[in-house]
Structure 1
Amino acid sequence: MGNSLSPVIAEVFMENLEEIAFAGVDITIKPRFFKRYVDDIFVVITNGKEDQFLEYLNSLFPEQISFTMEKESNRTLPFLDALVIRHDELVQTTVYRKATQSERYLDFSSHHLHSVFRSVIKGVVDRAEKVCDHEFIQPELQYITETLSKKRIP
């Protein structure tokens, strides 16, 4: 099991890396938008500059960390559990599921407290409400209903 200080040390390291990165980045490859959650980073950058920026990040602490990149495909990019969809003047989000996601939930006939099932429902509905833009919320709620009903969760 990992050390309980590990998340704190990782956060301090990443904050330090960000400070160094932005203090020394060449203006020609500087991202227009940069957000980080733990060690996942979402960047909006001038088209064609993404590889240079990745190379720059990887040059900062090459022995300690190596970044990889997932590029936008068909105007979409998964980030954490959201799928970011880019239109000409608009960005939308919906829930993202990896192709390998199994949708495994407890069967309602299992011997668990009903509060456990309520928490599962609340969790997936809350995620849908927080992640989905307006036009995606109803299809996502329908998907949740169908998925949970297969496990006989009312």
Structure 2
Amino acid sequence: MGSPLSPIAVNLFMEWFENEAIATAPDNCKPRIWKRYVDDVLEVIKKGEAENLTTHLNQVDPTNSIKFTYEEESDNSIPFPNTLITKKDDGSLKICIYRKPTHTDQYLQFQSHHPLHHKLGVVRTLIDRKDSIVSEEIDRQKETSHIEQALNQCGYPQWSIKKVVEEKDLPKPKKSKPSDGQEKSKGLVVLPYVEGLSERVSRIFEKHGFATSLKPHSTIRKALVHRRTSETPPNSRSSV
């Protein structure tokens, strides 16, 4: 189920709404399970009661400004954000990655003018999602193949995927609290990204105790959108 509000407004509204909706739901359509992520709700109710529950939900908000829709399971499966939940023959559930039919597997191109860690971040995000969501090994293998094929189409070499996988297998270093004598970061320096140069400048700043962030400078927006070179003087503006 979903509603057209912004995430912040939805969270504030839903804190009150879901308690009220569940408490006042008729017995014939009262949810056995209610799981919500922002404005998407996964419910388990009696078969054939989805429309009745939706009618009830649309009557809870006194302002009548929010309308819910519903989607029932198809072939024992139902999508939830980023996931496809499938009921198996033995009654257990398995979870896979869900992509809309319009999804094109277009990610940041490896040849684009971005720092390498931005590109490796794309790989890491896809692999982390696979490892945290997919519940069965055979589906993980299928998802791994899908990720590799999609990234290959975006120009990612095999070593970039291998690098991320190897880094994930390494033990994570324990975070240590800074000691009294340890020098704290002197601040953050944001550098425009120029391939080959920004990395060297970044290392110099870090040697002197400054954290750095690399920001792509050449973007499609800058190439297509041109700001006015001259502005109206403050004294000539209206309503100032």
TM-score (norm 2): 0.59
Picking from 99, 102, 106, the partner of 2:101 is: 99
C-alpha deviations, 1:21-74, integer Å up to 9, x for none? 122112221111110111000001110111111110011126221000011111
Runs of 4+ in 1 over 6 A off after TM superposition: none
Structure 2 partner of 1:30: 30
Corresponding residue SS for 1:28? helix
One-letter code of the match for 1:27? D
**Alpha-carbon deviation of 1:10?**
2.4
In 2, the alpha carbon distance for the partners of 1:102 and 1:118 equals: 20
**What number of residue pairs does the alignment pair up?**
149
Larger of the two Rg values belongs to structure: 2
Specify the alignment match of 2:191 in structure 1.
Answer: none
Equivalent positions of 1:79-118 (< 5 A) are: 79-88=80-89, 89-118=91-120
Match of 2:42 in 1: 42
2:31/2:44 contact within 8 Å kept: yes
Q: CA RMSD in A?
A: 1.4
Q: CA deviation at 1:146?
A: 1.0
Amino acid at match of 2:113: H
How far is the alpha carbon of 1:106 from its aligned partner?
2.1
Residue 130 of structure 1, CA deviation: 1.3
Distance in structure 2 (CA, Å) of the matches to 1:50 and 1:23: 17
Residue number among 142, 148, 152 corresponding to 2:151 in the alignment: 148
Aligned-pair distance for 1:8?
Answer: 3.7
Residue 29 of structure 2 aligns to a residue whose secondary structure is coil
The 1-side partners of 2:75 and 2:7 are apart by 34
Listed one character per residue, the Cα deviations across residues 52-109 of structure 1 (whole Å, up to 9, x for unaligned) are 1111001112622100001111111111110111124111110000010111112212
The share of aligned pairs that are identical, in percent, is: 34
The CA distance in 2 between the partners of 1:59 and 1:107, in whole Å, is: 47
8 Å CA contact 2:108–2:122 kept in 1: the answer is no
Match of 1:65 in 2: 66
Matched, 1:77 2:70: no
**TM-fit CA distance, 1:150:** 1.4
Task: Measure, in 2, the Cα distance between the counterparts of 1:72 and 1:55.
Answer: 18
Q: Secondary structure at the match of 1:43?
A: strand
Cα offset, 1:9, TM superposition: 3.4
Distance 1:50 1:87 in 2: 21
The 3-state SS of whatever aligns with 2:118 is helix
The worse-fitting range, judged by mean Cα deviation, of 23-32 and 92-101 is 23-32
**Consecutive unaligned residues in structure 1, runs of 5 or more:** 1-5
Unaligned runs of 5+ in 2: 1-5, 158-240
User: 1:132 & 1:147 partners in 2: Cα distance?
Assistant: 18
